[in-house]
Amino acid sequence: MAIVRPFRGLRPPKAIAPKVASFPYDVINSDEARELAKDNPCSFLHINKPEIDLDPDINLYDQRVYDKAVANFKMFQEKGWLVRDQEDCFYIYKQVMDGRSQIGLMCCCSAQEYWDGKIKRHEFTRKVKEEDRLKHVDMTNCNAGPVFLTYPACDSINTLIDEIIKTTPEVDFTSEDGIQHVLWVVNDATWSKKITEEFAKIQAFYVADGHHRTQAAARIAQLRTKNNAAHNGNEEYNFFLSVVFPHNHLYIMDYNRAVIDLNGLSEAEFIKKIEEKFTVEKQEYKKPTARNTFGMYLKGAWYKLTAKSGTFDANDPVNSLDVAIMQNNLLNPILGIGDPRTDNRIDFIGGIRGIKELERIVNSGKFAVAFAMFPTSIEQLMKIADSGEVMPPKSTWFEPKLRSGMVVHTLD
């Protein structure tokens, strides 16, 4: 069974919700966050990216950054920019991007179910990022941003959610990036009971986006359990903020790659090595339209790369992924990118930034080559998670991203 639990959320009053809600902490950098929040003192970026209120030269993991998050979180509550609901609630969160909707349940999920494998992951975490989220959660005593979970679509849940959203929403606004955000507050005991019962029939959730947040939240539960002699399993720290969506609502975009240099190779040598495992065609080919094909931008020109038959195991759920083919047959053996999680010669560009971003960063001279990827499917993600395997890093880019600050969950 999958546990979903209502909670007394902290959320902005309706009038200022559009100003409070912000991008997640990990999709924009500090400079971008400073620019977005410079004329907006109630932007949630002051809590989930508090370095924007400090000297730009400060290390992101400096203690002063976390102290600022704590101070800002307290200040938001004192000013009434975040107000606590008086009763346990579920929340329905709808996002609309380019005419396509995804509608999920905002709730708390169980840290124990994560450790038990009922909330399944598909990626490893990076230790430094995990420790950062752990410290942020521990010091602020809250889940500042929700984990993005999914589950196999279920007609009975869809029907229930569809009934709820016939009512008037609490919040409805369109953010500066053109995405509509709609929130319903579910504080009726009858509806809450139905929601809990229907989700109890779901066998597992899958982490779509937010592995570091999930791991940090689950570790907080362990730490506080150890330090609480009266622990009973029902404390708020045992649960973490999530939005759970049916799998067929989700949209995965390409997650592209760019490398700083050609590992000492000339352009001709580089292409010759690629031809060992890919067919290479120079053409105006940018965004791939099928699996096992890749766009490559090099020295102002686009190439189409097609993985040759027999160069990968088509029956292996992990190694048949395009991101794995790219890593195993090109990035590692040719460009020397052994561990893309730690190698600073590679960068990853979410598909939301578009193909033109790949052209821009190569034309600027910052990168030597960029690769446009075909998106991983949600079915591939779930299959890998079910098998207990993990994907290569940066395999999926979900859009739209969940806004932080719509609702906050505190751990007490």
Check whether 161 has a pLDDT greater than 80: yes
Q: How far apart are CA 204 and CA 109, in angstroms?
A: 11
From the centroid of its chain, how far is CA 247?
A: 15
Q: How many CA atoms lie within 13 A of 51 on its CB side?
A: 18
Output DSSP code: residue 310. Answer: T
Q: CA–CA separation, 244 vs 252, rounded Å? A: 15
Find out whether 204 and 388 touch, Cβ atoms under 8 Å.
no
pLDDT tens profile 17-49: 999 999 999 989 999 999 999 999 999 999 999
- The boundaries of every CATH 3.30.1760 domain in the chain are 255-374
345's enclosing H/E stretch is none
Write out the E strands in 37-179. 83-84, 90-97, 100-110, 119-120, 142-143, 147-151, 171-174
Nearest to 108 by CA among 255, 179, 8: 8
Count of other CB atoms within 10 angstroms of residue 323: 25
pLDDT value, residue 126: 82
* Closest CA relative to residue 397, chosen from 353, 358, 350: 350
pTM for this one? Answer: 0.90
Q: Which two tokens stand for residue 336?
A: 């020397």
CATH of domain 255-374: 3.30.1760
pLDDT value of residue 155: 96
Flag whether pLDDT at 394 surpasses 90: no
pLDDT, tens digit (0-9, with 9 covering 90-100), for 375-392: 999 999 999 999 999 888
The confidence score (pLDDT) of residue 285 equals 73
